[in-house]
Structure 1
Amino acid sequence: MERVYLKKIINKKVMGNDGSEIGTLKNVTAELETGDLSEMVVHLNENSSGQRRYRAEGGYIYIPFSSLRSIRDYIVVDVRSM
């Protein structure tokens, strides 16, 4: 995967690979010891299918980076691995 800067993807829409709209990327978490990115912090849209489908903590869900499939106009994640 090519290098992508965080400031370029914050506030991008997050979609499932099944076409579902999940929410908007707001932050990421990292492992302090290794520097590896671990999770995407996604704010669920109020009217999106993601609001009904995924359990949220205060309106946010944490999606593992291993679920990431592509970053283009949208961030696409594999919903089966979430």
Structure 2
Amino acid sequence: MGKIAATRLRDKMIVTEQGHEIGTLFDMVINEDTGELIALVVEPTTDVILDNMITDKENLVLVPFSAVRAVKDFIIVDVRRIPKKSERVGMFAKVPE
């Protein structure tokens, strides 16, 4: 994936490879030590998303960067790589307070 300015990503729509909307990009989680992009923080478009995906205390969805497949007009993600509430793993094991 090429380089892109973070400001160009703000408010981009996040969609699955099948074209289903997840929400709009609200923020990003970055490792301060390495600069690695860890996750996208997404404002969901529907309550159905909230029922299935891991959220923070503000009901924003956490999408691991490893799920990102392409960034163009939309940010396209592989929904299979997004942990569900029942699959809390890694940094997603603890929901940020």
- The normalised TM-score by structure 1 is 0.87
For 2:46 and 2:68, locate their aligned partners in 1 and report how far apart those are by CA, in whole Å.
22
For 2:71 and 2:65, locate their aligned partners in 1 and report how far apart those are by CA, in whole Å.
12
> Contact (CA 8 Å) 2:50, 2:61: kept in 1 or not?
no
The answer to which structure has the higher strand fraction is: 1
Instruction: Show the counterpart of 2:90.
Output: none
Stretches of structure 2 lacking an aligned partner (at least 5 in a row): 83-97
Give the Å deviation of 1:51. Answer: 4.1
Structure 2 counterpart of 1:54, which letter? M
For 2:4 and 2:13, locate their aligned partners in 1 and report how far apart those are by CA, in whole Å.
15
Stretches of structure 1 lacking an aligned partner (at least 5 in a row): none
Instruction: Show the counterpart of 1:50.
Output: 49
> Contact (CA 8 Å) 1:55, 1:61: kept in 2 or not?
yes
- The normalised TM-score by structure 2 is 0.75
Q: Would you identify which runs of 4 or more consecutive aligned residues in structure 1 move more than 4 Å?
A: none
- Residues 28-73 of structure 1: per-residue CA shift (max 9 Å, x gap): 01111111010000000136x5345424332211111010000111
What percentage of residue pairs aligned between the two structures are identical? 28
Instruction: Show the counterpart of 1:39.
Output: 39
Structure 1 counterpart of 2:29, which letter? T
